[in-house]
Structure 1
Amino acid sequence: MSTRTESRLPTGLLIAAGVALLSAGCAPESVEPDEAVEDEAHIRGHVAGRVAHHLCAGVFVVGRDYERTVEEVVAQDLEPFDELRDDFRYRVDLETRTASVTGEGFGTRSAEYNGDQGCTILPIGFEDVAFEPTVVERRTPDPEMTAWPTGNADAHHDPPPAEVDMAALDAALDWAMAQREHHTRALVVVYAGKILGERYAGGFGPNTPQISWSQGKSIAAALMGAAIQAGHLDIGLDDPAPVPEWRGEDDPRREIRIRDLLNMSSGLDFLNLGSDDERSRTHANEHGRIYFEGIDVFEHAIDQPMDTLPGAIFRYRNSDPLTVARIVRQAVEARGDDWLTYPQRILFDRIGARDYVLETDAWGNFIITGYDYGSAWDWARFGLLHLWDGVWPTPDGGSDRILPEGWVDFVSTPAPGAELLNYGGLFWVNRGRSHPGAPEDAYWALGAMGQYTAIIPSDDLVIVRLGPSPGDYSAYMSDIMGRVTGAIDR
């Protein structure tokens, strides 16, 4: 029996790839008209790299043991968002665990599944990745024998608290799932520390890893916080970023502080074109290149000049969180620790998270600004960690401070350069009421196409929503938060 699946893929996927490139909440920037435009074949080759990634990850990361067929991935993750064209061909090989896309003018782009490092777009000319894939053992207690939130036992309110109008909550969740154009696959409401309600689309459940896009930026912040708290990274928010390449005496980048990177206000000239510009899938789109080219994303992030002063302006750019992750990697490896297992050891194991997959480039750098996968329940745990000020209740009745004291206040406070009061420390914040349905103190990890982990301290709530929404997901999520909070009389 053959293990290869080969077919034509609609080249309308050019549009799908572009939609996913759009950074949540960020308007495309202008480009000088005399910048070079790559030819159409080159652009389609870039898109083919992303498509190969999505095929690979949809089958091998989300599907795990190939539970999702190639046809399902194409039908659910790609075709609904595209104009149909027919000049791409794809192949998924279940034996070699690779996906490839071929088209006229650019040849073939491929992605390779590397187990716990997920799927990697292979750079042109590479037949394999340049690092040794590593098994990431989950060192968490038996989830079925361990109480929530570290485990899965006794995860739900039974009975629900008296102040909750369950009919109104159920109506809110049912309404959210009924908005078919948003393709919601998971929706979980956690109140007072336990699950109050949840809904899932067919084929998805509480432990299904799903692409979380830029929610991974918030993971980057948490990794830095956990490394600082553990003493693995001796640095403060106002210290200069320890990037050796920036330390030259006349290099203005030496003034970039840790807080500037976390506030996405470094001042690095790292162009983000969004998805509507004709050059969004070219080299000019420095922000987007990490999703389609197969480049060393950490080196790409730091190898940029400055065009504004550090801390002056919030601009949504992948350079800053990728630099945060590079700083942590350098500190971890300087200690002799393993980078590929570090997020699981320092963060995920401690909160009982078992389903995260952080994908890498071909050099083992986490593409933590978009190619990260997490399940609804694990994102709920991540939200609870922040709701509880970085302190986690341990199964033995004790507590574990994972994030430094004051860290959560910092990440949930608007950056000085965020004029709309909508961005903090690699989290979006609601101080400017960008989501009018949510309380002002709400803040959230947010990924493209509407991946949300919303933390609402005033209502003791965490709300997780996953699924590929191509529409106005901000208004949709604002409505969800408003309907859920309206069902609780505190």
Structure 2
Amino acid sequence: MKNFKRFALFTVILICLAFGVAVTTNYPKLNIISGFSAKNMCSCVFNDGRSQALTKNQDNNFAPVNLAKNNINNQNKTATATVYGLKARTAVYRSGLGCVLVPTDMDVNTLKKMPSPVRTTKANLLPYPYGDAPQKDTLFENVNYELIDEIVSASFHNNDIQKTRSVLVVYKDQIIAEKYADSLTQDSKLLGWSMTKSVMATLYGILQHEGKLSVDSPAKVASWQNDARAKITYSDLLHMNSGLAWEEDYATISDVTKMLFLTDDMSSVQAEKEAIASPNTVWNYSSGTSNLLAGLLRKEFNNETEYLNFPYRKLIDRIGMKSMLIETDASGTFVGSSYGWATTRDWAKFGLLYLHNGNWNGDQLFDKNWVDYVTTPAPNSDNLYGAHFWLNTKTKLPDAPLDTYYADGFQGQRVYIVPSKDLVVVRMGLASGDAFDFNWFLSGITNAIY
């Protein structure tokens, strides 16, 4: 009996120790899990008008985020999340600025008082993509519509695995295929995640076109001026070739997860990193770099209002992306790495702007040379990356046209630009990688245009 009691006591101690280790190891992660859940719930509900149930069952329904429980306050426009009742995090919606996680030392009402951008979204009688009127029926003899429809429909098969939310195919400025998952419509605003990086880069292309900045100039970071980082240019940052330390790992407590869910001023995180290589010698994908660029953009304006208005006045509203919203962090800086929202049709407009070399129905937003710049492979990137755009290679999308380049976001958000086919293809979803075959998808569509 004594031996049994000793064994039982020993077992209990081991269990307690194991539990203690598990809690110690995983407790810090709860802050990030609840932060992700609260922020995404707030954005889905208040940016797009989705229900809490739909967001829980779709947008937040993946491990470990699905461990969190959320509470919505419609009056205050907040979402609060906890994991096992621990680590409560709250996100608040601000008109024109989207949702943001509330810092522990900041009042919700302070965040709500932040200025909003002024939007100019006048209606016009032109058909899509240049206006709000319906398109005229147009049939192209060189398009196999039946094949495209088959591919688009198949993109939604087994959708508990593929998780496709929308597909839009635009050929010669004409929508030739469009489909949405049951819970969504053409008016649904969808998060582009890292496709926002391509939007952020475009703002630099506009500034350069207007003669207000050269991307070959050293970045204006005061803390870099007395060390090797002083040589880092905007171009090095756009190419992800700064040589700065950065860990882009969403499965752990890393630089990127701490930045997105634990940091009030996201533009400062990459700026504070040390140089581990000379500029333009090592390629390292970094969301911190994109947010640093968002913060540096702020230095080009006299005040906060000019900064907040710039993306909308010079790009977004200028090409009629009325639905688009780029959320800001608690410091008022655009989260240029991740938090751009727009309808599928408006994401396609962004692709069409590049397809037309920066010209929007006669309005030149940026120089054609900018397109050449963003599609030229960054050194050391294995030809996979340009300047905040991804590039096709013979191994990436082997059966699609080699001139394809694209904006790419978490969970399979894509805006494909295919100049040789005069084509833009958008796919929005909640799964990527092996769950969705992008080579089959894009090659099938491009091969249906002769």
Establish whether TM, by shorter chain, passes 0.5: yes
- Runs of 4+ that moved beyond 6 A: 83-86
Kept after mapping to 2: 8 A contact 1:59/1:69: yes
Kept after mapping to 2: 8 A contact 1:41/1:104: no
Partner of 2:236: 260
Distance 1:332 1:38 in 2: 45
What do residues 387-420 of structure 1 show as CA deviations (whole Å, max 9, x unaligned)? Answer: 1111110xxxxx111012300111111111212x
Secondary structure in structure 2 of the residue aligned to 1:178: coil
Partner of 2:40: 54
> Aligned-pair RMSD on alpha carbons?
2.1
What do residues 359-406 of structure 1 show as CA deviations (whole Å, max 9, x unaligned)? Answer: 11111111121122111111111001101111110xxxxx11101230
Confirm or deny that 1:69 pairs with 2:51: yes
Change (3 A) 1:290 1:150: farther
Residue among 49, 55, 72 paired with 1:92: 72
Which piece of structure 1 moves more, 99-108 or 479-488? 99-108
Distance 1:328 1:138 in 2: 19
Partner of 1:242: 220
AA of the residue aligned to 1:328? L
Cα deviation for residue 39 of structure 1 reads: 4.1
Distance 2:294 2:122 in 1: 28
What do residues 107-155 of structure 1 show as CA deviations (whole Å, max 9, x unaligned)? Answer: 4211001121111011223332557433444313315x23322213243
Kept after mapping to 2: 8 A contact 1:172/1:484: yes
Distance 2:173 2:65 in 1: 45
Distance 1:253 1:313 in 2: 14
AA of the residue aligned to 1:241? A
Distance 2:24 2:38 in 1: 21
Task: Using the aligned pairs only, state the percent identity.
Answer: 30
Q: Equivalent residues in 2 for 1:424-435 (5 A)?
A: 424-435=386-397
Cα deviation for residue 41 of structure 1 reads: 2.0
Confirm or deny that 1:422 pairs with 2:391: no
Confirm or deny that 1:331 pairs with 2:300: yes
Partner of 1:411: 374
Kept after mapping to 1: 8 A contact 2:33/2:83: no
Cα deviation for residue 272 of structure 1 reads: 1.9
Kept after mapping to 1: 8 A contact 2:260/2:266: no
Which piece of structure 1 moves more, 103-112 or 426-435? 103-112
Residue among 170, 180, 193 paired with 1:200: 180
Partner of 1:349: 317
AA of the residue aligned to 2:428? L
Distance 2:357 2:448 in 1: 25
AA of the residue aligned to 2:63? D
Change (3 A) 1:84 1:361: closer
Kept after mapping to 1: 8 A contact 2:266/2:292: no
Secondary structure in structure 2 of the residue aligned to 1:332: coil
Cα deviation for residue 77 of structure 1 reads: 1.5
Distance 1:387 1:141 in 2: 24
Partner of 1:444: 406
Kept after mapping to 1: 8 A contact 2:147/2:448: yes
Partner of 1:314: 283
What do residues 166-206 of structure 1 show as CA deviations (whole Å, max 9, x unaligned)? Answer: 11111111111224112111110010122111111123222
Report which of the two has the higher share of helix: 2
Distance 1:46 1:217 in 2: 22
Secondary structure in structure 1 of the residue aligned to 2:72: strand
Cα deviation for residue 332 of structure 1 reads: 2.2
Distance 1:274 1:364 in 2: 24
Distance 2:44 2:409 in 1: 17
What do residues 255-290 of structure 1 show as CA deviations (whole Å, max 9, x unaligned)? Answer: 111211111111111122342xxxx1x2xx112222
Distance 2:178 2:127 in 1: 18
Confirm or deny that 1:487 pairs with 2:443: no
Partner of 1:120: 100
Gaps spanning 5+ residues in structure 2: where?
1-22
Confirm or deny that 1:271 pairs with 2:247: yes
What do residues 208-265 of structure 1 show as CA deviations (whole Å, max 9, x unaligned)? Answer: 211110000001100111122234x322x322122222222xx111111121111111
Change (3 A) 1:445 1:85: closer
Report how many residues are paired: 426
Cα deviation for residue 101 of structure 1 reads: 1.4
Which piece of structure 1 moves more, 360-369 or 455-464? 360-369
Which piece of structure 1 moves more, 444-453 or 324-333? 324-333
Change (3 A) 1:432 1:324: farther
Which piece of structure 1 moves more, 109-118 or 147-156? 147-156
Distance 1:363 1:483 in 2: 44
Distance 2:385 2:24 in 1: 33
Distance 1:105 1:69 in 2: 22
Structure label with greater radius of gyration:
2
Confirm or deny that 1:174 pairs with 2:143: no
Secondary structure in structure 1 of the residue aligned to 2:368: coil
Confirm or deny that 1:385 pairs with 2:385: no
Distance 2:240 2:439 in 1: 23
AA of the residue aligned to 2:186? P
Kept after mapping to 2: 8 A contact 1:218/1:426: yes
Q: Equivalent residues in 2 for 1:119-158 (5 A)?
A: 119-128=99-108, 129-130=110-111, 132-143=113-124, 145-155=125-135, 158=137
AA of the residue aligned to 1:405? K
Distance 1:440 1:385 in 2: 20
Change (3 A) 1:327 1:457: same
Cα deviation for residue 104 of structure 1 reads: 5.3
Distance 2:65 2:97 in 1: 31
Secondary structure in structure 1 of the residue aligned to 2:398: coil
Partner of 1:159: 138
Confirm or deny that 1:472 pairs with 2:448: no
Query: Structure with the greater relative contact order (CA < 8 A, sep ≥ 6): 1 or 2?
Result: 1
Change (3 A) 1:71 1:118: same
Distance 1:273 1:84 in 2: 15
Gaps spanning 5+ residues in structure 1: where?
1-36, 394-398
